[in-house]
Amino acid sequence: MPGRGFSILIAVVLLVPAAFAQAPREMLDAAGRYVVVPAKVERVYAAGAPAGILVFAINPDKLLGWTRAMRADETPFFPDKYARLPELGRLTGRGDTANVEVLLRARPDLVVDVGATAPVFASLADRVQQQTRLPYLLLDGRFEAIPETLRALGRAMGDEAAAQRLADYCERAIAEVAARVAQVPPERRPRAYYGRGPQGLQTALGGSINAQVMEFLGARNVAGSVRGGLAQASLEQVLAWDPEVIFTNDPNFYREVWGDARWGAIAAVRARRVHLSPHLPFGWFDFPPGANRIIGLYWAGQILYPALFRDDLRSKTAEFYRLFYHQEPSAAQLDALLGEVGVLPR
Amino acid sequence: MTRRAIPAYAAALAALALLTLLAFAVGRFPLTLGDLAALAANKLFGAGYAVPPTAETVVMQVRGPRILAALLVGAALAASGTAYQGMFRNPLVSPDILGVSAGAALGAVLGIFFSQSALVIQLGAFAGGLAAVAVVYTVGASVRRHDPILALILAGIVIGTLLGSVIALLKYLADPYNQLPAITFWLLGSLASVAPRDLAFAAPFALAGLVPLALLRWRMNLLSLADDEARALGVPVARLRVAVVCAATLMTAAAVAISGIIGWIGLLIPHAARLIIGPEFSRLLPLSMVLGAAFLLAVDTLSRTIAPIEVPPGVLTALIGTPFFLWLFATARRAWQ
């Protein structure tokens, strides 16, 4: 058939030069979806906070905006022009605030979400992709997957070298922390409780994304026997668990726990081992569930195993912030992050 | 009348006493009956038995206050429900009809949204509940051309919906990782975090609401008559209505401020009491309160014991309450209206 031969010829003529220039590439994302990514990616829309942090870390000039505008206490941690990036909303199927038209108006070359890769999120990605004709990559947000996710994102954005540097850092940190934790026999791992909410009585169950730092560090999550996400615990149950260490992300709870007679009966409170996680500009322990928690591994590791984690947290923090947030924190910022009061400048 | 009422009261009070004892004896923290007995002897008779300090903390600071709070909240919700169902002459009315729960929820949600302390959240809930009812009552009373009861209910529904949409907006804007779960948990209702100071906060208001209802118990029956009939009998209908709304609102707002929103009790416990003892208010109110207290105590005891994590009482109230109510509905011989 002559028509067929002709179309093959056309295809060859069209494809050969394209193969020499940079061609759109087909990438396999973490949900098993094939996504055609344009040759040059200059504008990236991050669908959620974890994705935004990774895109920003790899190449801040390609991030179109944050999922929500930076608050006054967060902006000092970034170079000015990035702190003022616009608020574009989130589009992850978990309480979306983004408008598809806003997404289109931002004219991204690529949409990225980093998080769970379950079918429901894959289908959301497919839907947005069909609707907007924008390539939508869904990448794995699990802790251990961060290095691989960074590399994949680097390939998609055309910033392989920067992504590789960050991935190496994360890989080294994760391996180093895992090796230290492996030395601790199970019975020497503290029983830990994670208290969220103003009363400290919302906790993260076993396997939940919120308890990942704690569980990665081998702490025995007292609420870990029940698998799930977040749940309400009772004070009596916490007394029965009698944790040796308490982590919290709530400054109100942290302030009040010391004077409360009910909490005073708990081993962690008596030993003054209640710790408020730093949260600026992104949380160290829990939220958002992204690469921001890597530095939290060292912080929480030092709390759980002071003998094994003898790192200088100031220089560790400075290094991490320089790498991921493109600005080294000032001495005062480091004091505020790492001081006992944790997060005072609010 | 008394001959019929006494067995019902005796049974309800006995059930309440048994439940209270049982509630002290069970819980996630392992306490021996010996410890409990020793502690009771120490506290009641000044005996000097040795009790582990943690056991004392559990009973005096955690389990005890929680049991008292369950009794208080259950009784308060049931009492307000009883008063409202009488006053509104409507069996479908619950304590939140005038927006007290929606207002309290908005107050608490605002507190969580702005990362305030537990105390501020509690005060916000209480103030929000009172403010919402004040607005509803003002709106309802200013519409003069309509049936005052209907105007009040309608104002309550409209403003409740408005508050609900503000809450929805705040949930939408809240930080999904931290604030949103806290808001969700507050709205589910729970007694898990009750401390002695919560009781000290809620009890005076609940009592302040109960006293007028108890004093007005005879006149409450007359409110179930049409307005002009009641007026003909010399009842100052409008003033009485204000008093009932104030009393019920105080009680409900105080309860909701320490427990979050717990449904079912205020709507259905008054019906259960009416099925047992009839609609006469002076007999109905105490029984309704005893049943409400016992019911919430039973539910809360289950919710804190059956699993290491709390089962939301709002889930259990309906799961346990519905079969009980249907049974009562099917077997009771008396007209409950």
Q: What percent of chain B has pLDDT over 90?
A: 45
| Distance from C-alpha of A146 to C-alpha of A213, rounded to nearest angstrom | 13
Mutation target vs B (from A237, A242, A287; most B CBs, 10 A cutoff): A237
Domain span(s) for CATH 3.40.50.1980 in chain A: 21-175, 185-338
**pLDDT tens string A96-139:** 666 777 788 888 999 999 888 888 888 888 888 888 888 999 99
Contact (Cβ atoms closer than 8 angstroms) between residue A74 and residue A61: no
**Is A164 or B228 the better-scoring residue by pLDDT?**
A164
CATH number among 3.40.50.1980, 3.10.129.10, 3.40.50.300, 3.40.630.30, domain A185-338: 3.40.50.1980
pLDDT exceeds cutoff 70 at A184: yes
Number of helical (H) and strand (E) elements in chain A, helices listed first: 15, 11
The end-to-end CA distance of chain B, in Å, is 17
Q: What is the mean pLDDT of residues B207-216?
A: 92
Contact (Cβ atoms closer than 8 angstroms) between residue A245 and residue A268: yes
* Displacement of CA A45 from its chain's centroid (Å): 16
What pLDDT is stored for residue B206 in this prediction? 94
Instruction: Tell me the two tokens of residue B64.
Output: 């005890």
- Contacts with A90 from chain B: Cβ below 8 Å: 176
Q: Does B118 touch chain A (CB under 8 A)?
A: yes
Contact (Cβ atoms closer than 8 angstroms) between residue B139 and residue B159: yes
| Distance from C-alpha of B269 to C-alpha of B73, rounded to nearest angstrom | 13
Contact (Cβ atoms closer than 8 angstroms) between residue B270 and residue B57: no
Listed in sequence order, the residues at least 6 apart from A84 whose beta carbon sits closer than 8 Å to its beta carbon are A70, A75
Give the SS3 label for residue A88.
coil
Q: Does B117 touch chain A (CB under 8 A)?
A: yes
Comparing A51-65, A300-314, A326-340, B190-204, which segment has the lowest mean pLDDT?
A326-340
Q: Does B180 touch chain A (CB under 8 A)?
A: yes
Q: Does B188 touch chain A (CB under 8 A)?
A: yes
DSSP state of A330: P
| Distance from C-alpha of B87 to C-alpha of B74, rounded to nearest angstrom | 20
Per-residue burial over A155-183, b = 16 or more CB atoms within 10 Å of its CB, e = otherwise = bbbbbeeebbbbbebbbebbeebeebbee
The overall average pLDDT reported for chain A is 85
Listed in sequence order, the residues at least 6 apart from B96 whose beta carbon sits closer than 8 Å to its beta carbon are B102, B160, B252, B261, B266
Compute, in degrees rounded to 10, the torsion defined by CA atoms A175, A181, A185, A189.
Answer: -150
Q: What share of chain B is helix, strand, coil (3-state, %, to 5)?
A: 80, 0, 20
Closest CA to A129 of A273, A29, A271: A29
Strands A191-195 and A245-248 turn out to be: parallel
pLDDT exceeds cutoff 70 at A22: no
Q: Does B259 touch chain A (CB under 8 A)?
A: no
Fold of domain A21-175: Rossmann fold (3.40.50)
pLDDT exceeds cutoff 80 at A23: no
Residues 26-45 of B with CB under 8 A from A: 27-30
Residue that the structure tokens 């251990």 belong to: A144
Of B30, B53, B178, the CB nearest to A265: B53
| Distance from C-alpha of A1 to C-alpha of A293, rounded to nearest angstrom | 61
**pLDDT tens string B320-337:** 888 887 887 787 665 554
The overall average pLDDT reported for chain B is 88
Q: What is the mean pLDDT of residues B305-334?
A: 82
pLDDT band at B149 (very low <50, low <70, confident <90, very high): confident
Task: Tell me the nearest-neighbour CA distance from B62 into chain A, angstroms.
Answer: 6
**pLDDT tens string A219-273:** 999 998 888 888 889 999 999 999 999 999 888 899 989 988 889 989 999 999 9
pLDDT band at A17 (very low <50, low <70, confident <90, very high): very low
**pLDDT tens string A140-182:** 888 889 999 999 999 999 999 999 999 999 999 999 999 999 9
B182/A236 Cβ within 8 A: no
Instruction: Tell me the two tokens of residue B72.
Output: 């208080």
Q: What share of chain A is helix, strand, coil (3-state, %, to 5)?
A: 50, 15, 40
- Contacts with A95 from chain B: Cβ below 8 Å: 172, 176, 180
pLDDT exceeds cutoff 50 at A342: no
